[in-house]
Structure formats: C-alpha cells, structure tokens
C-alpha cells in the first residue's frame, strides 16, 4: 500500500492520552475560515474525483468497487485516479486550483496541507465511527481533526521459521527485549544470512528510538526532541548490532535488497521489521516462504513500534464537500473497512473495525496490538525535507555515520523548520 507508508524500500501513531474520541455532529463543518460544505445540486447527480496512491491492482480495484457501491446507493459517480506520483500530482492540482475532491492524505503531510489551506476540515461532522485515538491525534492540526483516518499499519517482527528451527531456536526464544534480540540475531547469522535486516531510515530504525523512550518531536508537534540521550540510545543499539554483524540495512546486504521484505523473502535475512503489507509481498513474490509474525521486542524504556496511516482528505476547493463527506462516511463503515482489509491488507481505523479484524485475522494480532503504543509520523508543517535529510544521513550509520551528530543536525534543522 503506497497509501500508507514508505513501502518496500520506502516506508508513521502518536499515542493520545485520552480514551476513544466520538466525533460529535456539527452542521456545516468549517475550520480555518473555510466555506460551509457545498451541497449536491438537486437537479442531478454529483461527479466526484478521487486520487489515491495505490500499491497495485488489488488496492485500486477495491477502492473502485467501494466507490461504485456508494454511487449505486446515492446516484453519484466517482472517478478514481491511481496517481503515479501522488505528492507531485496533488501539488499540481492545488497550484492549479483543480485538486481532486477526495484524496489519500499522507500522515507526514497533513500539517503542510492544512497550513496551506488545502484541506476541508470535516472531522467534526463524522458521527458514524469511533476512530482509534492515536489516529485522531495523527490527523489533528491546530486542534481540529482534518480528515477521517483511512486505515493503518504498524511494524512487527517477522521470523523465517525454517531458519529459526535450523538455528536450534524455539518459541521460548522469541525475543522480548534488546538483549534477547541480540542473542537470536547472532544465532541466526551465518554465511550469507544476516540475523536481522531492516530499512535504512527512520521508518524502520526509528522503532529503536521509540523503544528507548525517545522521538523526534513532542506530541503536540511544537517542539523538537531529537537530540536526547533516549534517541541516541536507540541509534546506538542499531549500531551495536551492526558492529556485531547481526543487523544490516537492506542496502548493505549482498546483494543489496530493495527493502527488508525482499531480503527476508530471498532468505538472506532471517528476521525483518515490516508492517502487514509484507503479507501481500510474500504471497506475490515468495509464496513458499514460511514465517511467523510477533510483536516488536521492548527496548530500554519499554514497548515501541511505528505506525503508518493515510486519511480520506477532502479538498478545501472541492465544489461537492457534502457529497464527499457522505462518501467518506460510507468508506469508513466497519463493513467497508473489513472489505478493504480482505482485498489488500490494511487494518481498520475504527474501534469497531479493529475489534472485528482481530477476530477474523488472529495471525495479524501483533500488528493490531501496535496501535496501543505505536509512534505516528512527524506531521508538523515544514518537516518533510528535514526528515528526508535525516534519512539520508541515517543510511550511513553502518559506515561512517555518527549517531550523535545526526541527531544534533536533526534538532537544529527541525528547530528552524518549526520556526517557519
């Protein structure tokens, strides 16, 4: 699902301290001096456009089927556009004043889009669902829920069971903390096989920072918290295992892999840390691989994983905001979210949906449990280029990279970005 993360080679939920948030009904919507929702014309049906960043045919076809079902129910139509480059095409639409009515809003860009006035903040109009509090926090900017969380995924630990058994390991050895992760990774490292292979940026390695009690930015997105002992401890744990030869980035394997899942599928990684999109990748490219999924090990400060999501964003310049909200209400129903889960793997964003998902897909429980303690994306305005620069430096961690210097630069650059 390109929709939810920086996926293969690419592939964030900030925990909310309150309980589940029921979104109260509010006529007219609004937010940031936006106009009231435009009603569908009485004289005929509405023709909406929707732009998505799709992982492939399964996702595109599922979205088309869902929007067609809504169209049959309402008499409206939806043109679904699977973007080749979602960021670029959305940017062109915003600049030209012709954005799609509805689109995938990436968790990393919500602050940018909202600050620029590109979003219709309709969250207070949704009464059909209780969204997971962590996802509500991810898509909230300046106190307003900008858009309905579409779905989510979290990182878990995947284990090649054949290599596990070959190394003399049993279920009793499943790593619960960093120390046991080091132990099993060492036993699994042999010849061309590395014990653990992960992606080479914060979207994987950042889990260690979270497990050490750190993160890049404060929960309200107002203050940088990058240059801390906790974040340093997380990066030093990665470096420690790299120096021992038991952990590699996907770009450092032989041959280099496009993402952790590719190294895992080819058998040159005994373990990896990926989201539940790995299911589709393994079924498609490595159907004979036997593996199991477990929760991420705890770190020096406790549990920690990363969470990735998109929302159903509605353009501030859409002429059909009321119809768009109705479409989103349909798409976030439990029934429809479970249909998406069956079609291409994402987990429902609502409490009712995820409860049913856990019943239907018990093997995916480690992913679902991550919603309770997962860390979401850095979504403050202006931070996207800052995080991309940090990722470039983080990729050098196995070579000359200095974790302390990386975090100091991230702190300085992030402070500048937050000041505008």
The pTM of the full predicted model, rounded to 2 decimals, is 0.85
Identify the domain containing residue 325 by its residue range: 21-153+308-375
Residues 66 and 187 in one domain: no
Cα 92 to the center of its chain, rounded Å: 24
**DSSP character at residue 292:** E
Strands 102-106 and 47-52: parallel
Q: Is the distance from CB of 212 to CB of 234 less than 8 angstroms?
A: yes
Smallest CA-to-CA distance from 209 within 232, 176, 227, 225 is with 232
3-state SS, residue 145: strand
pLDDT at 2: 39
Residues 406 and 270 in one domain: yes
CA atoms of 395 and 69, how far apart (whole Å):
44
Smallest CA-to-CA distance from 195 within 279, 263, 295 is with 263
CA atoms of 82 and 104, how far apart (whole Å):
10
| pLDDT tens, residue by residue, 3-15 | 344 444 333 333 2
Residues 243 and 334 in one domain: no
**DSSP character at residue 126:** -
- Please check whether residue 184 lies inside any domain of the structure: yes
Smallest CA-to-CA distance from 108 within 393, 377, 375 is with 377
Residues 213 and 128 in one domain: no
Between the alpha carbon of residue 255 and those of residues 80, 180, 259, 283, 408, the distances in Å are: 38, 27, 12, 22, 32
Instruction: Tell me phi and psi for residue 161, to 5 degrees.
Output: -70, -30
CA atoms of 80 and 198, how far apart (whole Å):
33
Q: Find the length of the chain.
A: 420
- Please check whether residue 5 lies inside any domain of the structure: no
Interval 90-114 mean pLDDT: 96
Residues 162 and 146 in one domain: no
Residues 174 and 140 in one domain: no
Residues 94 and 48 in one domain: yes
**DSSP character at residue 35:** P
Q: Place 44 in a pLDDT band, splitting at 50, 70 and 90.
A: low
CA atoms of 251 and 274, how far apart (whole Å):
15
- Please check whether residue 245 lies inside any domain of the structure: yes
Instruction: Tell me phi and psi for residue 73, to 5 degrees.
Output: -70, -35
Asked whether residue 29 carries a pLDDT value surpassing 70, the answer given is no
Residues 114 and 187 in one domain: no
Asked whether residue 20 carries a pLDDT value surpassing 80, the answer given is no
Interval 35-44 mean pLDDT: 46
Half-sphere exposure of 363 (CA within 13 A, CB side): 7
Domain count along the chain: 2
Residues 143 and 166 in one domain: no
- Please check whether residue 364 lies inside any domain of the structure: yes
pLDDT at 279: 86
- Please check whether residue 110 lies inside any domain of the structure: yes
Residues 327 and 251 in one domain: no
Give the chain's count of helices (H) and strands (E): 16, 16
Asked whether residue 22 carries a pLDDT value surpassing 60, the answer given is no
Residues 262 and 409 in one domain: yes
- Please check whether residue 12 lies inside any domain of the structure: no
- Please check whether residue 302 lies inside any domain of the structure: no
Encoded tokens for 174: 């499943």
Q: What is the CA radius of gyration of the chain?
A: 21
- Percent of the chain at pLDDT above 70? 90
CA atoms of 370 and 105, how far apart (whole Å):
21
**CATH number for the domain harbouring residue 210:** 3.40.190.10
- Percent of the chain at pLDDT above 90? 81
Half-sphere exposure of 240 (CA within 13 A, CB side): 13
Q: Is the distance from CB of 357 to CB of 348 less than 8 angstroms?
A: yes
Check whether the bond before 255 is cis (ω within 30° of 0).
yes
Cβ neighbors of 177 (< 8 A, separation 6 or more) are 297, 298, 299
Q: Is the distance from CB of 398 to CB of 242 less than 8 angstroms?
A: yes
pLDDT at 146: 97
Residues 370 and 413 in one domain: no
Half-sphere exposure of 396 (CA within 13 A, CB side): 11
Q: Place 101 in a pLDDT band, splitting at 50, 70 and 90.
A: very high
């Amino acid at each position: 699902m390109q929709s939810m993360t920086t996926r293969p080679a690419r592939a964030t939920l900030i925990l909310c301290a309150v309980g589940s948030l029921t979104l109260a009904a509010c006529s007219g919507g609004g937010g940031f001096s936006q106009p009231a929702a435009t009603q569908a014309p009485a004289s005929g049906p509405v023709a909406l456009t929707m732009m998505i960043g799709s992982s492939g045919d399964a996702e595109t076809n599922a979205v088309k089927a869902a929007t067609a079902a809504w169209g049959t129910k309402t008499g409206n139509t939806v043109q679904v556009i699977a973007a080749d480059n979602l960021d670029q095409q959305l940017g062109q639409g915003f600049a030209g004043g012709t954005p799609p009515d509805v689109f995938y809003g990436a968790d990393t860009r919500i602050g940018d889009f909202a600050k620029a006035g590109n979003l219709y903040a309709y969250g207070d109009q949704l009464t059909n669902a209780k969204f997971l509090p962590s996802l509500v926090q991810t898509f909230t900017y300046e106190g307003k829920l900008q858009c309905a969380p579409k779905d989510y995924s979290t990182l878990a630990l995947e284990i090649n069971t054949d290599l596990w058994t070959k190394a003399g390991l049993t279920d009793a050895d499943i790593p619960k903390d960093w120390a046991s992760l080091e132990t099993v990774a060492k036993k699994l490292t042999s010849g061309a096989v590395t014990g653990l292979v992960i992606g080479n940026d914060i979207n994987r390695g950042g889990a260690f920072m979270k497990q050490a009690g750190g993160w890049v930015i404060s929960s309200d997105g107002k203050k940088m918290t990058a240059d801390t002992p906790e974040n340093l401890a997380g990066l030093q744990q990665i470096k420690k295992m790299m120096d021992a030869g038991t952990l590699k980035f996907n770009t450092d394997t032989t041959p280099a892999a496009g993402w952790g899942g590719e190294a895992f599928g080819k058998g040159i990684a005994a373990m990896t840390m990926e989201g539940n999109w790995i299911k589709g990748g393994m079924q498609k490219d490595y159907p004979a691989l036997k593996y199991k999924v477990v929760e991420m090990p705890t770190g020096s400060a406790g549990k920690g994983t990363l969470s990735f999501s998109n929302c159903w964003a509605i353009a501030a310049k859409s002429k059909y905001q009321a119809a768009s909200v109705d479409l989103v209400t349909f798409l976030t129903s439990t029934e429809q979210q479970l249909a998406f889960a069956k079609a291409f793997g994402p987990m429902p964003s609502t409490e009712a949906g995820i409860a049913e998902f856990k019943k239907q897909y018990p093997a995916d429980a480690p992913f679902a449990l991550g919603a309770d303690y997962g860390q979401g994306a850095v979504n403050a305005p202006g931070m996207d280029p800052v995080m991309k620069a940090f990722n470039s430096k983080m990729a050098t961690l196995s070579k000359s990279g200095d974790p302390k210097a990386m975090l100091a630069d991230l702190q300085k650059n992030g402070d500048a970005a937050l000041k505008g």
